[in-house]
Amino acid sequence: MHDTAAVEYPSFPYPVTNYQEDNRGQFHFSSRGGWMNDVNAPLYYRGVYHLYYQHAPNSLVWDTMHWGHATSTDLVHWQQKPIALDPGIHPGDLWSGGGVVDTGNVTGLKNGDDDPIVVFSGTNGVQVFYSLDGGNTFKTFADGKKVVKPNARTSRDPKVFWDPIAKHWGMVVWSDEGGNGADFYTSENLLDWTFGSRYQADWLFECPDMVRMPFEGGYKWVLSDGSGEYVVGDFDGTTFHPLNRMQQKINQTDTHAGGGYYAALTFANLPVKDRVVSMAWQGENQGTIWTGNATFPVDQRLKRTPDGPRVVSTPIPEIASARTSTRTWKDRTLDARSAKQLLAGVEADTYELEATVDVRDAERFGFRLHTSPDGWFDRDVVYDAKAQTLDGTALKPDHGKVKLRLLVDRGQLEVFGNDGDVYQSHNVNFDSLPGGNGLEFFVDGKVHVESLTLHELGSIWKTSGQSTLSTDIAGQWYPASGNWTDVAGGKQGQAGGDAFYLSKASGSDFTLEGDVKLVSGTAAALTFRANKDASRHYTANIDADAGVVKLWRPGRDIATHPLAIERGRIYHFKLTAASTAIEVWVDGTLMIDATDTEQSAGQFGLNVFRGTGIFQHLHLTPGS
């Protein structure tokens, strides 16, 4: 037995991150930067949940794979950690895989107080990596020698599990030997593996999971693939025996790689006996420095149905730790008109919605999410009482009632029906800009609302990262256009044309101060009295090409003052606005004193034009 010598890991590659980008999930995990895809080796060890994942840290698209790493003490609030597996240190294709905690030291690798955490990766054969510091850094076992030799043209995605009846470890690996299917292996020590059997199924494509679940006083095994298709059966220690070869789906959406649900895995070594927790990859969401996120964790269990045992999924109860406020409506009989009035005036950005509705007199009902005063909404969720479907998925009422539970985040929507009989995960770019946070209940026919509860959910990132922009301007910031990132000197904007970074806070009369540096290109500026997409605004800039300080708005240059602008130098701006009067001061000198009647109030922000600018130390004083 030989392992590579410990190698010093590269420095932590992530800059300080602004988690308030418009479509960045506020309670769904996403990597601080770079590309994220499949969930890898989720596990629990000594009070900490570890989430590893497929990761390209310096790319917004799939690239050379690393294993990213994040930890949590409650499965809700996550903290980014340095990369766990790095291709500059660890050999082989670091593609998807699973992991376990070797609590009995069957590997013999233990050297200190921590139990070895052993993870499995590699394509066309399986490699082993192990951690002796609680899952933070990993060594390569046997110089990367493959502990499972390839027996097919293509194989990948090993998942390891404990079989308490056979009292040995099992491994399931996807391969294309004779078509799609899963190969099963067994081991006493996690390092030496013996082929056991093969389960052939055309539907079973990559990222398999194998998990044991309680069922009616006993246990069954669930074998699933990357798209969440699964069969339930028995496992005799080497061979899987399905109860029915017709597969079901864990998540009732169009699941595929890069879609709203893919490559889910269940956590290993959980502290609660028989608890099954799963997370998946959502791939249709991205921001300026990141791509992809994870689904919110769900508890899974087996339920008896006329078609046999089925997997049902519900949000983990730990979600309560993210709730910031709760409002409840009870015992309401509603028609179309009164339903529309029920939530009038309610606004929420990120939230959990629970409803129990009697549908015996209804044709359909549902919720319109992120509505605006002009009637626009970003997404609706509809229960069709006649067809007995929830967003197209079959869902029969239970004694005439339907339960809905929605998780609404910045770029994610998860829908649950009747305590998990329906589970749907979507990436939705919800418009969390000002004026678009309404919520509407709608009814065709008549319903009786037994209860309706709205829990607003706060950001899980409050202690995990913040923008490098120092400002006392209240309200969340978002990029209205252009590329905005956090750098050591402050907030950096880059664009080939105009780009705006705006706060949701607004004002009418005020004094606004801030430091502006034009790094390269034409102009950098402070913006004020803007609307939410900056199609209307006032902007005061330094323009290096024209050699001026300029106050402008769309359609009009209001005033200019000559000034030789040095790129790379910091200029201190002070802007005062009182009714129609606007003053622009630069480095303590009054440059512009003008009047304009176009915009009386609006949001604050930053602007770059055909170049790169860095902004810092924004200070706002209300009033003149």
- The contacts of residue 119 (CB under 8 Å, 6+ apart) are 40, 41, 52, 67, 84, 85, 97, 98, 99, 128, 129, 130, 131, 138
| Residue corresponding to tokens 């669930």 | 222
Q: Determine the Cα–Cα distance for residues 310 and 316; give it in Å rounded to an integer.
A: 18
**By the 8 A CB rule, do 371 and 440 touch?**
yes
Backbone angles phi, psi at 514, to 5 degrees: -175, 160
CA distance 480 to 535: 10
In 176-228 the beta strands, taken as DSSP E runs, fall at 181-187, 194-200, 209-215, 218-224
* Nearest alpha-carbon partner for 125 in 100, 146, 154: 146
Collapsed DSSP state (helix, strand, coil) of residue 318: helix
> Of the residues 38, 86, 431, 498, which is catalytic?
38
Closest CA to 518 of 474, 550, 553, 470: 550
E-state strands within 508-545 = 510-530, 538-543
> Of the candidates 558, 556, 550, 569, which has an alpha carbon nearest to the alpha carbon of residue 607?
550
38 is catalytic: yes
Give exposure, 85-109, as e/b (b: 16+ Cβ within 10 Å).
Answer: bbeebbebebbbbbbbbbeeebbeb
Dihedral sign for Cα 312, 318, 322, 324, please: positive
Question: What does the alpha-carbon distance between residue 100 and residue 107 come to, in Å, rounded to a whole number?
Answer: 12
Residue 319 DSSP label: G
DSSP states of 88-138 as a string?
A: TTS-S------EEE-TT-TTS---SSSPPEEEEE-SSSBEEEEESSSSSS-
The dihedral formed by the CA atoms of 270, 275, 281 and 287, expressed in degrees to the nearest 10: -70
Hey, how many other C-beta atoms are within 10 angstroms of the C-beta on 420?
A: 20
Give the count of alpha carbons within 13 A of 385, CB side only: 21
Query: Half-sphere exposure of residue 512, counting CA atoms within 13 Å on the CB side?
Result: 30
Tokens at residue 440, please? 């509407």
- Cα separation, 83 vs 129, whole angstroms: 14
Distance CA 136, CA 85 (A): 10
The CA distances from residue 45 to 7, 57, 396, in Å, are 24, 25, 40
Beta carbons within 8 Å of 462's beta carbon, 6+ residues apart: none
Question: In sequence order, what are the residues at sequence separation of 6 or more whose Cβ sits closer than 8 angstroms to the Cβ of residue 496?
Answer: 610
Catalytic positions, written as ranges: 38
